[in-house]
Amino acid sequence: MNIMVCYPPLHSYKGVPLLSQNRQFQWFNNPTYIFPIIPASAATLLKFNGYNVIWKDAIVEGLIDQEFLEFFKKSNVDIIAIETKTPVIKMHWEWIERLKDIKEVKIVLMGDHVSAFPEESFENSKVDFIITGGDYDFSLLSICDYLSHKHSWMIGGIYFKENNVIKKSGILNLENNNLDDLPFIDRELTKCNLYNIEYNIPVKPFMYIMSGRDCPYGKCKFCAWPILFPKHRVRGVKNVLDEIGILIEKYDVKEIFDDSGTFMNGKWLEDFCNEIINRGYNKKISFSCNMRFDFINDENLRLMKKANFRLLKLGLESGNQKTLDKICKSITIEQIINGCKLIKKNRLNVHLTMIIGYPWETRKEALNTLILAKKLMLSGDADILQSTIIIPYPGTPLFKEALERGWFRFNYKYYERYDMREPVLKTIDMEADDVMNICNMIYTKIFLNPKYILRHISKIRNINDIKYKLKGLKAVFGHIKDFKG
* pLDDT tens digits along 301-319: 999 999 999 999 999 999 9
> Radius of gyration (Cα) for the chain, nearest Å?
22
Residue 461 above 90 pLDDT? no
Give 104-118 as a DSSP string: --EEEEESHHHHHSH
pLDDT in tens, 269-297: 999 999 999 999 999 999 999 999 999 99
Let me know if domain 201-482 sits in CATH 1.10.357.10: no
Residue with more model confidence, 73 or 463: 73
Task: Out of 12-26, 204-218, 358-372, 436-450, give the one with best mean pLDDT.
Answer: 358-372
Q: What angle do CA 280, 340, 446 make, to 5 degrees?
A: 115
Q: Is 211 in contact with 245 (CB distance < 8 Å)?
A: no
pLDDT interval class at 464 (50, 70, 90): confident
Cis peptide before 205 (omega within 30 of 0): yes
Fold assignment, 2-172: Rossmann fold (3.40.50)
As a whole number of angstroms, the distance between CA 331 and CA 325 comes to 8
Residues 315 and 323 sit within 8 Å (Cβ to Cβ): no
Chain-wide mean pLDDT for the chain? 94
**375 neighbors 406 (Cβ within 8 angstroms):** no
Residue 197: band (very low, low, confident or very high) from pLDDT cuts 50, 70, 90: low
pLDDT value of residue 124: 98
In this prediction, residue 141 carries a pLDDT of: 98
Residue 214 pLDDT level (bands cut at 50, 70, 90):
confident
Q: What is the pLDDT of residue 388?
A: 94
- Could you tell me the pTM of the whole model? 0.94
pLDDT of residue 54: 99
- 68, pLDDT greater than 60: yes
* 417-435 pLDDT tens trace: 999 999 999 999 999 999 9
- Which conformational region is residue 148 in: left (phi greater than 0), alpha (psi within -120 to 50 degrees), or beta? alpha
Distance in angstroms (rounded) separating the CA atoms of residues 142 and 154:
5
Q: How far is CA 466 from CA 310, 459, 460, 462, 474, in A?
A: 19, 10, 6, 7, 12
DSSP 55-82: EEEHHHHT--HHHHHHHHHHS--SEEEE
Residue 31: what pLDDT? 82
Question: Rounded distance, CA 290 to CA 453, Å?
Answer: 25
CA distance 211 to 184: 11
> Per residue in 15-44, pLDDT tens?
999 988 777 899 998 888 899 999 999 999
Phi and psi at residue 46, to the nearest 5°: -65, -45
Cβ of 174: how many Cβ atoms within 10 Å? Answer: 21
- For the purposes of burial, counting CB atoms within 10 Å of the CB of 207, is it exposed (0-12), middle (13-18) or buried (19 or more)? buried
Q: In the chain, where does the domain assigned CATH 3.80.30.20 lie?
A: 201-482
- Give me the pLDDT at residue 376, please: 97
Domain(s) of CATH 3.40.50.280: residues in the chain? 2-172
Per DSSP, the three-state class of 315 is strand
Mean pLDDT of 395-402: 98
Which residues does 467 contact at the CB level (< 8 Å), separation at least 6?
Answer: none
Residue 230, SS3? Answer: coil
